[in-house]
Structures are given as C-alpha cells and as structure tokens.
Amino acid sequence: MAVEFDFEPAAHRLAGVLAGIPGDGLEAPTPCADLSVAALLDHVNGLTRAFGEVARKTRETGSRPPRPDAANLPADWRERIDRQLKDLVEAWREPSAWEGMGEAGGVTLPAPVLARVALDELVLHGWDLARATGQSYDVPAEEAEICLALFASLPGQEDGPRPPDAAFGPPVPVPDDAPALDRLVARSGRNPSWTP
C-alpha cells in the first residue's frame, strides 16, 4: 500500500512547541478539559510511542491507554517525546505501515485510518499545547483537511451532542469559511478562541 502522507511536518511542528514550553508552565490549563500541560504531555508521550508501534506492527493489543496523569510524566519528557516523534515519522514512511489492521487506544481500525488518527493527535495536541503556553501555531490547510476528513469518516463524530465517553466534545460552531485549522479545532469540541 502507498504512503498517503508524511508525518514529518506535523512531528517537527509539535517538537517545536515542546521545545517552547517553559519549565514553570507544566501546571497551566489546556483546552483539554481537566488536563494540565503536564497531564497532556503524559498523553502525548504515550500516543507518540503507541502510534510508532502501530506502524511497526509491534503494538500489543487488547489494552486501553491509562488516563493522562501529570504524575506519570517522565523527567526526560522533552527528549523522550522528541525521539518517539522521530521514530513515528520513520515508521510511517514504510509502505507496510499502511497495510492491514492495527489497534490503538483499545480500538481496531484499518492502518490508513489509524495513520489519520495519529496525525490528528499530533495536530490537535500541538495546538492545545501551543495555546496553553502562548505559542503561535500554524498548520497547512491540506494537513488540517486530512484530519477533518477523519471526523467525517468515524462513527459517532457527527454534529450535535456526543456521549460522555466520546473521544471529543460536541462541535463548537464556526463559520463555514473559517480557516481549516479553526474548523478542525471546533469539530473536535475545542473553542478556536480558547486562551488560558
């Protein structure tokens, strides 16, 4: 199967945001309800490792990820996540990564769908962390559109109320002609105007 897109731009952008997080900013709130910067970084640490394993077909199946917890964030989180981002990029450059099925977060999906989920995670959590720490964050429209298409393809992600255990909150209204990143952020239940 062909490689549909390269993770390098999104991974590089997220790594830049991580480098800009001040050491005293870990307790700051994020657009993710009830998650501090440190707790969200714990989640990013886990997901960057997991999606690299998904691509390499080495991910253990049958387990749900733990709830993000600031107490679990390793002291070397910057270096660790940076390494895992580089591994994720290289792993998804292999055509075999895009073949068959895979599991992440306790959900089994075709590998190309999981790749889009991984991209969505990098893009949205990059935005979350940038907003929480006062950094600028720009995403090419084409990349945001890949993520928007993911929402359209997944059951339970339609407009309107979502169940309490849904991965995302209900969409936030934005104009149809809003930038693609704003539409993505809003579709995921976040307010594009959010500030700490």
Q: What is the CATH number of the domain that holds 66?
A: 1.20.120.450
Report the predicted TM-score, pTM, of the whole model to 2 decimal places. Answer: 0.92
- CA 170 – CA 161 distance, rounded (Å): 5
Which candidate, 121, 124, 116, 125, places its Cα nearest to that of 97? 116
Mean pLDDT, the chain, whole residue set:
91
Measured in whole angstroms, the distance separating CA 116 from the mean position of its chain's CA atoms is: 10
Which residues are bridge partners to 104 per DSSP?
A: 107
Model confidence pLDDT, tens digit, residues 14-70: 999 999 999 999 999 999 989 999 999 999 999 999 999 999 999 877 667 778 999
pLDDT at position 133: 98
Residue 142 belongs to some domain of the structure: yes
Model confidence pLDDT, tens digit, residues 119-144: 999 999 999 999 999 999 999 999 99
Residue 122 belongs to some domain of the structure: yes
pLDDT at position 156: 54
Q: For the chain, how many structural domains are there in total? A: 1
Dihedral Cα 70, 53, 90, 122, nearest 10 deg:
-40
Dihedral Cα 112, 54, 11, 23, nearest 10 deg:
140
The parent domain of residue 99 ranges over 8-187
Yes or no: say if 120 and 138 are a contact pair by the CB < 8 Å rule: no
pLDDT at position 163: 41
Residue 3 belongs to some domain of the structure: no
Residue 193 belongs to some domain of the structure: no
Model confidence pLDDT, tens digit, residues 147-176: 999 987 765 555 544 344 446 678 899 999
For strands 101-104 and 107-110, give the pairing: antiparallel
Give the whole-number percent of the chain exceeding pLDDT 90.
Answer: 78
- CA 31 – CA 189 distance, rounded (Å): 9
